[in-house]
A and B are shown apart, each in its own frame.
Chain A
Amino acid sequence: MAKMTLEELRKLRDQKKSDIQKRDIEGKDTQIIIGMGTCGIAAGAKGVLDTFLSELDARQLANVSVTQTGCMGLCYVEPTVEVISPNMPPVIYGKVDAAVAKKIVDEHVIGNKMVSDHVFDRPSADIIQDGGK
């Protein structure tokens, strides 16, 4: 891979911005927050961040907010990821690896359905049982 200059990066950014404006973006206003405390890092949170970026890019979802935070207090189920989507209850997923991250993008961000096996906090049990619908 050739070493990219800031000018080349700016051109890529402008191209992407133009692509975004041409499409009605699915997943807009969705927030994905990844726990990046010592516990999260030790459990592989950086790989999870990497997978989210790759999966969102593969599905051309450029407008999803992806941010990092410290420990969410659920060290026993790291890596943890909070997802806040319009018309869905906020949810914290635990034990998230690359495969689960892909499921979260497919089922939660795009399909508006929770990945119930990995829900560890926020929605009450009766909400989880029917997949968050």
Chain B
Amino acid sequence: MHATVSDFVSDIVQNSIESGASQIGVSIAEDRDELVVTVSDNGKGMSEEVLQRVSDPFHTEAGKHDNRKVGLGIPFLIQAVEAVGGQFSIETEVGRGTTVLFSFMTNHIDCPPLGSIVMAIVSMLAFDGPYQMIVTRSKEHEHGTSEYEIDRHELLEVLGDFSLSGNLQLLKTYVDSQESALHEQGI
């Protein structure tokens, strides 16, 4: 089972990347007692039959992992959100894409820690491939809401290549500065 909320976010976003999506939108919105994540993609989508089995840990998509008979990402997530009174939903259509929405009640005693949102965002941006990803991150404070947006293609244009360690470190510094400012604006 994942240790942090950020781990769940990374896992679900990776499904979108593996689905061959060219456009992925990730929204991570935090208010005082709830964190809501939406991941939308224009990947291959799922049939009704596959959708009914996504919560089955002993089902994985044929061809995704040749010798493996389990698929734990979504079952783990459903179990975790149900344990803290959160919500989970999937809308999907074959050939059109998938939208996964889930939330954690962060004031629930069993809610996992948030973990590193910065490394989750760095990791989801840095997979190989030409996909576009827009990450929208917001946090509600006492006097309003702060937010930032990250555009993968814009950053690729600036940094050139996410596979080199030096560029990845710069990407981390950039995302870290956005996330730090988000929290400082609430002080």
The residues in A between 1 and 49 inclusive whose CB is less than 8 angstroms from any CB of B are: 1-4, 6, 9-10, 12-13, 16, 20, 32, 36-39, 41-42, 44, 46-47, 49
Could you tell me how many residues of chain A have their Cβ less than 8 Å away from some Cβ of chain B?
Answer: 39
B residues within 8 A CB of A37? Answer: 14
The residues in B between 79 and 93 inclusive whose CB is less than 8 angstroms from any CB of A are: none
B residues within 8 A CB of A36? Answer: 10, 14, 123, 127
Question: In the complex, which residue of chain B has the Cβ closest to the Cβ of A46?
Answer: B119
- State how many angstroms separate the Cβ of A4 from the closest Cβ of chain B: 4
A10 to B7, CA, bound (A): 29
A9 touching B181 by the CB < 8 A rule?
no
B1 touching A56 by the CB < 8 A rule?
no
A16 to B72, CA, bound (A): 40
A128 within 8 A of B: no
The answer, among B65, B123, B164, B173, for a CB contact under 8 Å with A49, is: B123
Q: A1-B180, A46-B119, A62-B169 are in contact. Are A67 and B68 (CB under 8 A)?
A: no
Q: A9-B174, A36-B123, A46-B6 are in contact. Are A57 and B18 (CB under 8 A)?
A: no
A121 within 8 A of B: no
A13 touching B165 by the CB < 8 A rule?
no
Could you tell me how many residues of chain B have their Cβ less than 8 Å away from some Cβ of chain A?
Answer: 47
Chief secondary structure at chain B's binding surface: helix
B68 touching A71 by the CB < 8 A rule?
yes
Interface string of A40-83 (1 = CB under 8 A from B): 01101011011011101100011111111011010000000000
B170 touching A49 by the CB < 8 A rule?
no
A44 to B6, CA, bound (A): 11
16 pairs of residues in contact across A and B, judged by CB atoms under 8 Å: A1-B184, A4-B177, A6-B154, A12-B170, A16-B166, A38-B72, A39-B72, A41-B7, A41-B10, A42-B3, A46-B115, A47-B119, A53-B169, A62-B169, A65-B165, A66-B165
The 7 closest A-B pairs by CB, nearest first: A62-B166, A3-B181, A4-B177, A1-B180, A56-B165, A64-B165, A46-B119
Residues of B that sit less than 8 Å from A by CB: 1-3, 6-7, 10-11, 14, 18, 65, 67-68, 72-73, 76, 115-116, 119-120, 122-123, 126-128, 148, 154-155, 158-160, 163-170, 172-174, 176-178, 180-181, 184
